[in-house]
Chains A and B, each alone.
Chain A
Amino acid sequence: MNLFGFLLGIATLFIIGLGFIWVIRGERYFGYLWWPYVMAAGALCILGSLFMLNNWASSLIGALGASLIWGSTELKEQAVRGEIGWYPFRAKKILPPFEDAIKKWKAPSL
């Protein structure tokens, strides 16, 4: 019997569940323009997981990285949800560095 995959699946469920929370809260206080930073953080996690010799550390950081990349593509829709009143809206956002440049890019949404 190999319990690794099952336990990792349960852990990943929590990582994805956490994604719902940070996407909602993060968008409310920071705004969707942070998406390139979140996406880069996710990519760095996946890259970093390659160099972790411990199997649990590598898998969990990899799953976290994928969840961050996915979350970065959810931020734009979450911003709209706030603006149309489905979630509490906060006008004052803590904006990211280079927000003007990021505004010119098309925010991903899957």
Chain B
Amino acid sequence: MAINLLGFASAFATFLGVWLGHVAVRKIERETTNLWIPALIAFTMGFGFEVASFFVSSLYLSAMCGILGVTLLWDSFEFYRQQKRIKHGHAPANPKNPRHAKILAEYPVATIFDWLDRNPRGMAYSPTELASIKENEK
């Protein structure tokens, strides 16, 4: 029976692309002072992968280049969306990063506290509970 590995290659590229988009973008945004540098690198790499996808004759390589390319192009914008999350306090700021230190000074809701580092409890938190969680973190 013939096996078609194209789906597996696509799945691998998709998982890698989404993983890079989530984990690597978060980590790089946290450490970088000038956000345009990783954004430009991601954009250039994404563009390069798309161009490569046109010219490789192998369907496997074309599929993986096409998928990784679009996720990298997306990531170049995601760096700025991640910065927005830092400003809204939805992702923890890194006080050692001067760009984040500035955000912490300018945006009162920005925090170094990671709200998502907890287990679901099956119940919504009241505003009082949320305030006391934040107070205990200081």
Question: Mask for A25-55, Cβ within 8 A of B = 1, else 0?
Answer: 0000001100000000000011011111101
Chain B residues whose C-beta falls within 8 Å of the C-beta of A67 in the assembled complex: 14, 18
**Cβ contact of A4, chosen from B50, B63, B74, B121, cutoff 8 A:** B63
**Cβ contact of A1, chosen from B1, B2, B54, B64, cutoff 8 A:** B54
B63 engages A52 (CB within 8 Å): no
Chain B residues whose C-beta falls within 8 Å of the C-beta of A6 in the assembled complex: 50, 53-54, 62, 66, 69
Question: Mask for B1-26, Cβ within 8 A of A = 1, else 0?
Answer: 11111111111111101110011000
Chain B residues whose C-beta falls within 8 Å of the C-beta of A86 in the assembled complex: 90
Q: How many residues of B contact A (CB 8 A)?
A: 51
A70 engages B120 (CB within 8 Å): no
Query: Assuming A2-B54, A16-B14, A51-B3, is B124 touching A59 (CB within 8 A)?
Result: no
- Shortest distance between the CB of B84 and any CB in chain A (Å): 13
- Shortest distance between the CB of A43 and any CB in chain B (Å): 10
Q: Jot down 13 A-B pairs with beta carbons below 8 A, ordered by A.
A: A3-B54, A5-B53, A5-B66, A6-B50, A10-B66, A12-B70, A16-B17, A16-B71, A46-B8, A49-B11, A63-B11, A81-B116, A82-B124
A contacts, CB < 8 Å to B:
1-10, 12-13, 15-16, 19, 31-32, 45-46, 48-53, 55, 58-63, 65-67, 69-70, 76-77, 79-86, 89, 91, 107, 110
Those 9 A-B pairs whose CB atoms lie nearest each other, nearest first: A49-B7, A5-B66, A62-B7, A5-B53, A5-B62, A9-B66, A79-B120, A58-B7, A66-B14
